[in-house]
């Protein structure tokens, strides 16, 4: 049995017509008939019948169809794996950050002449942890509030992941040109209750979830006005640029990655309360491009 025979069988059943199957396969109808006839002869059983409603599978053909679909799917996966081996793989997950995205762009520009293949996804801390744990990605850039360090380490231990710290950060807000605080350098924690926020997807480690502790009780979560919640980076950036909304974020903006339209406003008397770093699987050995990427990360947060 050949893969070609299986592909022709699937096309005939899915198109319900040998003529349409031939069009889909860029061949002739007699050739499709010949290959399917050979397949039935080889198996010693009829796979399909022609009816007034078109080509339909026999009882055995129905069973064969399910296995045939899985065979083709598995072959495609193996082919993709073989293709991937021809590239240097860099699979990263991170919390949403314009600076990290810009750094990935710089990394690409430095290595664009190589056989580099980058996969970059964003999500909550919980999303990033799961993507690294499931081997969807190999490096995950995450943060956690300092007072949740024990819980964070427990989660990593259960999933056999390690964490390398990059920086301890303060909180700040980010605002655009239409925000009344656009020209301010600093604000007090208590002023946050007068502002309207856009925030990303929330999880257990989200800064907003712990703002009462991070502010030493100066402000409560229920005092803050959450006008927009989104999982879209495009929505976030556009709302900051073109509305009076702001967002709570990490104070680690580097001058060379500054967005001329978005400004950071520091929060007075805010301590270093958020740990930022990267996670990996404990049994993972970095390839060359992953080692270089970690060096870029360390420089970004230096």
Looking at the fold, whether 75 and 218 belong to one and the same domain comes out as no
Looking at the fold, whether 31 and 64 belong to one and the same domain comes out as yes
Domain that holds residue 70: 3-84
- Percent of the chain at pLDDT > 90 equals 40
Looking at the fold, whether 162 and 110 belong to one and the same domain comes out as yes
Instruction: Identify the band that residue 288 occupies on the pLDDT scale cut at 50, 70 and 90.
Output: confident
Mean pLDDT computed over every residue of the chain: 87
Would the pTM count as exceeding 0.85?
no
Looking at the fold, whether 288 and 263 belong to one and the same domain comes out as no
What CATH number is associated with residue 47? 1.10.10.10
Looking at the fold, whether 160 and 284 belong to one and the same domain comes out as yes
Looking at the fold, whether 128 and 252 belong to one and the same domain comes out as no
The CA–CA distances, whole Å, from 73 to 12, 48, 135, 204, 298 equal 17, 22, 20, 37, 40
- pLDDT value at position 132? 95
- Sorted by sequence, the CB contacts under 8 Å of residue 82 that are 6+ apart come out as none
Q: pLDDT tens across 31-46, in order?
A: 888 988 898 899 898 9
When divided into structural domains, the chain yields a total of 3
Average pLDDT over residues 216-231: 74
Q: Which domain-ending residue is among 65, 84, 103?
A: 84
Residue reference for tokens 């999303």: 127
Looking at the fold, whether 80 and 105 belong to one and the same domain comes out as no
Q: Which domain-ending residue is among 42, 57, 84?
A: 84
Looking at the fold, whether 113 and 43 belong to one and the same domain comes out as no
231 close to 201: Cβ distance less than 8 angstroms: yes
Looking at the fold, whether 38 and 162 belong to one and the same domain comes out as no
What CATH number is associated with residue 222? 3.40.190.290
Q: Which domain-ending residue is among 53, 84, 115?
A: 84
Residue 129: count of CB within 10 angstroms of its CB:
23
- pLDDT value at position 257? 64
Q: pLDDT tens across 58-85, in order?
A: 888 888 888 888 888 888 877 766 665 6
Looking at the fold, whether 79 and 103 belong to one and the same domain comes out as no
Looking at the fold, whether 39 and 65 belong to one and the same domain comes out as yes
Looking at the fold, whether 68 and 111 belong to one and the same domain comes out as no
């Amino acid at each position: 049995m050949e893969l070609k025979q299986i592909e022709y069988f699937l096309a005939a059943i899915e198109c319900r017509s040998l003529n349409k199957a031939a069009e889909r396969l860029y061949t002739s109808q007699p050739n499709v008939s010949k290959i399917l006839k050979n397949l039935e002869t080889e198996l010693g059983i009829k796979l399909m019948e022609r009816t007034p409603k078109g080509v339909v599978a026999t009882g055995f053909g129905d069973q064969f169809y399910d296995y045939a679909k899985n065979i083709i799917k598995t072959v495609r996966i193996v082919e993709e794996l073989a293709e991937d081996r021809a590239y240097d793989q860099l699979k990263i997950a991170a919390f949403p950050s314009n600076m990290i995205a810009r750094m990935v762009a710089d990394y690409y520009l430095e290595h664009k002449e190589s056989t580099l293949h980058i996969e970059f996804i964003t999500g909550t801390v919980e999303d990033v942890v799961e993507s690294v744990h499931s081997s969807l990605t190999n490096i995950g850039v995450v943060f956690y509030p300092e007072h949740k360090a024990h819980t964070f380490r427990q989660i990593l231990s259960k999933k056999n992941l390690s964490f390398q710290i990059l920086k301890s950060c303060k909180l700040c807000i980010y605002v655009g040109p239409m925000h009344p605080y656009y020209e301010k350098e600093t604000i007090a924690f208590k002023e946050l209750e007068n502002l309207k926020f856009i925030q990303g997807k929330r999880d257990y480690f989200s800064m907003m979830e712990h703002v009462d502790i991070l502010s030493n009780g100066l402000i409560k979560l229920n005092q803050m006005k959450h006008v927009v919640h989104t999982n879209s980076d495009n929505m976030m950036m556009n709302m900051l640029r073109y509305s009076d909304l702001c967002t709570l974020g990490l104070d680690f903006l580097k001058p060379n990655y500054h967005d001329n339209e978005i400004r950071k406003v520091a929060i007075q008397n805010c301590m270093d309360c958020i740990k930022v770093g990267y996670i990996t699987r404990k049994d993972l050995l970095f390839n060359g491009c992953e080692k270089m990427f970690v060096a870029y990360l360390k420089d970004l947060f230096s």
